[in-house]
Amino acid sequence: MLLAASEEKAVSPGDTIEVDVDVSWIHETQVNIFIETFEELGGEVWDADKAVFMIDHFPNPTSSEQADQLQLLHEYAAEKGVEVIKTGIKHQAWRSLGLARPGAIMAGPDSHTPTAGALGAFASPVGPTDTAIIWQKGKLWLTVPETIRFDIEGELDPYVTPRDIGFYILEQHSAESDYFAESRTVEYAGPTIQKMGLDGRQTLCNMGTEMGVTNAYIEPDETLRIEYLDPKVNEEYTIYRSDDDADFERRHRVDVDGLRPKVAYPHSPSNVRDVKEAEGIELDQLFLGSCANGHLSDLQVAAEILEGREIDDSVDFIVTPATDEIRKQASADGTLDTFVQAGARISSGYCSACPGYEGVLASGERCLATSTRNYRGRMGHRDSEIYLASPATVAASAITGEITDPTGESYR
Amino acid sequence: MRDVVGAVWRFGDDIDTDVIVPSQYMRYEADRYAQHVMEPIAPDFADKVEQGDIVVAGRNFGIGSSREHAAIGLQRAGVGLVIAKSFGRIFYRNAINQGLPALIADEETIDDIEEGDELAVNVFAGTVESRTTGEDYMLEAPDGLIRDILLVGGAKRYYSD
C-alpha cells in the first residue's frame, strides 16, 4: 500500500519513504497553530479536494473563545476554498461520508487516526509541522513500520464486546510496555474479525492508538464491501492484501472463548483487570460515546440492557452518538428513546466528555466511560478518577450506580 | 559533517512529553517553555544545560501526547542531540522536522554512557567518541530522507520551494 503511494520500486520495514497523501484535515482546536505554520510554508493548499476542516471537538461552543475559534476556521476555510465538515467525530464521519477507502493514505493531527484502518486505509497520526507540509506539498515522509498481527478466534459471549478484546490485548502486553506496539502496524485478522461488524472493527483499530501504533489494519473483505464500499465510496480504490509469506515481526493468537468483560483502572488504558474485581466501585458519572465506542451497535447493546429500566438516582449518564448519521439511526430505531426514558442525557456528534468538553469531573469524582483514554485529569480535576469499559458494562453500571458485570444478574 | 560536542544528561525509560514540556507551560512562547524542559524529573536541567549538550535516554523517549513543544523546547534549551534506545513515534517525527537529530543506539551503548560524560558525535557518520572514558561507540546513522531533512536543518526548509 505504501509502495503504491510512493515513487519507490520496493519498500521494506525500516525504510524511510515519501508518500502522496489522499486525505488530510485540521480540526478546530488546532486552527491557530496550523495557520501560522502553513502560512510560513506558503499557505497554498496542494489539492482542495483532499483537504478538509473538521469541526468535531466543540461544534456547540460553550465559551466565546470557542466561538471565535470556529469563526476563524470558517473564514480561513473560505479563503482557501477548503470544505468545512461538521457531522460528527472525524473517525466515524469518514465512514458516514465514504471518505476513507482501501489503499488511501490518510494523515493528520489526531491521535485516533488509526481507526480508519478498519475501512482499509493507511491512516496515521502526524504532528503539526507534518500537517502543514502535507497541505502545502501533498507529501508525507514516513518510516515503513513492522507489523504485529493478532489472529483472533472464538466467539464472544453476550455482552462481551470488541472493546473487551482490545482491553484483553492491552492487558496481555502491558507488562512489556504501555505502548508495546510503538511505531508498528497492528493487523487484526482471523475468524472472529471476519464475523465482526464494522463498528467493532473500528473500535479495535481505534484502540491501536493506546498500543502505540503507527497505523492499524483489517484487510478489506465482503463485509466491508457490502456494508461500506458499495453504498458509500464513490472514488476508486485498491485493495491490498498481506502477502501469504508476509514477514510479521510478531504474530499472536488470541482466543476470545470465555473472555470476561474488562475494566481499565486509572490512569492508563493498559491498567486492565476483570470487571469482577471492579464490581462495587461507586460512580458519580457514566459516559457512553467517543471515537472508540460511539457507534450505532455500541448504543444498541447499551439500550438493550437499559430497556425498561432506570439509571441510579445518584449518577449522571451522558450518551453521545459519534455522528449525525448514527444519531438519526439510533433515533429511528428507538435506541435514543430507551436512553431518555432511562434517565440519560443525550448530546451529539463530537468528542463530548472524553477529553472533558462536558461532564467535567471535580476532585474525587469517579466516572466509568467508554472513552478512549483515562489519563490523569483528562476529564477534569487531577484527582478525579476515570475507569474505562465497554458500552455493555457502562449501561449495566448506570443502573446500579457502581461498576457492574453486564453478564451477571445483579442489575436485572 | 556536523559534529555535536557536549556533556551527557542521562534519563531512563518511557520519558513522556508531559515530562519534557509540562502542559502548564504549553501556552507560552517557545523561549519561555524551553526554560522548563524536563522540570518534573530534573528541575536543574533547563538552567544548566549548555549549547550542544546531549540527552541520552532509555526506550520510548518522547512517548505520550503529540505536542511539538517537546522537540522545540529541548532544541531551544540548547540540546544538540538526543540518543535513545527507541523513541515515541510522533516525538521522533517532530524532532526530525525541527532539525533536532534523534539517533538510536543499542542497549549496551546506552547503558555504558554516564551522566556528565563528554561526547563528540558525528551525527551523519553515527560515530561517538567519549572524551571522558576514551570509548568509541556506533549509533544508527540517519540515512535517506531523514538524513536529507537533517542536513538542511529541518522539514520546513526541506519542503520550502
pLDDT recorded at residue A177: 78
Domain boundaries of chain A, sorted by first residue: 1-144, 145-232+249-259, 266-400
Residue B127 confidence (pLDDT): 97
Contact yes or no for B160 and A42 at CB 8 A: yes
pLDDT of residue B67: 86
Using pLDDT thresholds of 50, 70 and 90, give the confidence band for residue A190.
very high
Q: How far is CA B74 from the centre of its chain?
A: 7
Give the mean model confidence (pLDDT) for residues A170-188: 91
pLDDT tops 80 at residue A400: yes
For residue B98, give how far its alpha carbon lies from the nearest alpha carbon of chain A (Å).
9
Chain-chain contact of B59 with A16 (C-beta, under 8 angstroms): no
H helical segments located in B16-137: 17-20, 30-33, 45-48, 69-77, 89-98, 107-112
Long-range contacts formed by A61-70: CB under 8 A, 24+ apart = A62/A357, A62/A358, A66/A28, A69/A28, A69/A29, A69/A31, A69/A32, A70/A28
Q: What is the mean predicted confidence (pLDDT) over A134-162?
A: 97
Mean local confidence (pLDDT), A154-180: 94
Q: Hey, what's the cell of A318? A: 451522558
Q: Which amino acid is at B65?
A: S
Residue bearing cell 502548564 = B24
Closest Cα in chain B to A43: B160
Identify the residue whose cell numbers are 483515562: A374
Scan for cell 505504501, then name that residue: A2
The CATH fold assigned to A266-400 is Aconitase; domain 3 (3.30.499)
Cβ neighbours of residue B160 under 8 Å, at least 6 residues apart? A41, A42
Which are the contacts of A95, defined by CB distance < 8 A and separation ≥ 6?
Answer: A119, A198, A202, A228, A232
- Mean pLDDT within A146-173: 98
pLDDT reported for residue B24: 85
Give the integer Cα–Cα distance in Å for B91 and A271. Answer: 24
- Average confidence (pLDDT) over A331-354: 97
A97 and chain B in contact, CB less than 8 A: no
In the predicted model, is pLDDT for residue B1 greater than 60? no
Rounded to an integer, the average pLDDT of A26-40 is 92
Q: What's the confidence (pLDDT) of residue B27?
A: 82
Is residue A279 scored above 50 in pLDDT? Answer: yes
CA separation for the pair A167, A149 (Å, rounded): 16
* Nearest residue of B to residue A138, measured between CA atoms: B159
Question: For residues A100 and A106, is the Cβ–Cβ distance under 8 A?
Answer: yes
Read off the pLDDT of residues A379-393 as tens digits, 9 standing for 90 and up.
Answer: 999 899 999 999 999
Confidence of residue A244 (pLDDT cuts 50, 70, 90): low
Chain A nearest C-alpha distance from B145 (Å):
6
Chain A residues with CB under 8 Å of B160 CB are: 41-42
CATH topology of domain A145-232+249-259: Aconitase; domain 3 (3.30.499)
d(CA B7, CA A402): 53
Closest-CA distance of chain A to residue B58, Å: 13
pLDDT digits (tens, 9 = 90+) for A88-128: 999 999 999 999 999 999 999 999 999 999 999 999 999 98
Candidates A238, A250, A177; CA nearest to A210 is: A177
Amino acid in position A113? T
Tell me which of A107 and B18 has the higher pLDDT.
A107
Stretch A214-218: mean pLDDT: 97
Inter-chain CB proximity B63 and A139 less than 8 Å: no
pLDDT band per the 50, 70, 90 thresholds, residue A3:
confident
Write the pLDDT tens digit of every residue in B40-93: 999 999 999 999 999 999 999 998 877 899 999 999 999 999 999 999 999 999
CATH class, range A1-144: alpha beta
- The pLDDT > 70 percentage for chain B reads 98
Instruction: Look at A133 and B156 and tell me if their CB atoms are within 8 Å.
Output: yes
Averaged pLDDT, B98-106: 97
CB atoms inside a 10 Å sphere around CB B138? 12
> Is B89 in contact with A214 (Cβ distance < 8 A)?
yes
Q: Give the chain B residue whose CA is nearest to the CA of A111.
A: B66
Cα three-residue angle A92-A55-A85, rounded to 5 degrees: 70
Residues 6+ apart with CB under 8 A from A379: A353, A354, A355, A356, A359, A360, A361, A367, A369, A371, A386
User: SS3 of B95, please?
Assistant: helix
- Is A40 a residue whose pLDDT tops 70? yes
| Distant-in-sequence, close-in-space partners of A93: CB < 8 Å, separation ≥ 6 | A54, A56, A85, A87, A99, A323
Cα separation, A249 vs A322, in Å, equals: 34
| The pLDDT of residue A176 is above 90 | no
Q: So what's the pLDDT on residue A376?
A: 86
Burial (CB count <10 Å: 0-12, 13-18, 19+), residue A60: middle
* A18 CB within 8 Å of a chain B CB: yes
pLDDT at B160: 86
Q: Do domains A145-232+249-259 and A266-400 have the same CATH topology?
A: yes
Residues 6+ apart with CB under 8 A from B35: B46, B47, B77
- Please say whether the dihedral angle defined by the alpha carbons of residues A239, A114, B106 and A174, taken in this order, is positive or negative: negative
Helices assigned H by DSSP within A24-145: 31-41, 64-80, 90-97, 128-137
Burial (0-12, 13-18, 19+ Cβ within 10 Å), A5? buried
The whole-chain average pLDDT of chain A stands at 96
Cβ-based burial of B124 (10 A; exposed 0-12, middle 13-18, buried ≥19): middle
* Confidence band, pLDDT 50/70/90 cuts, at residue A132: very high
Arithmetic mean of pLDDT, A9-35: 93
Query: Shortest CB distance from A42 goes to which of B14, B65, B161?
Result: B161
Domains of chain B: residue spans and CATH? 3-155 (3.20.19.10)
More confident residue, A246 or A73: A73
Within 8 A of B30 by CB-CB distance, chain A residues are none
Q: Among candidates B144, B87, B24, which has minimal Cα distance to A7?
A: B144
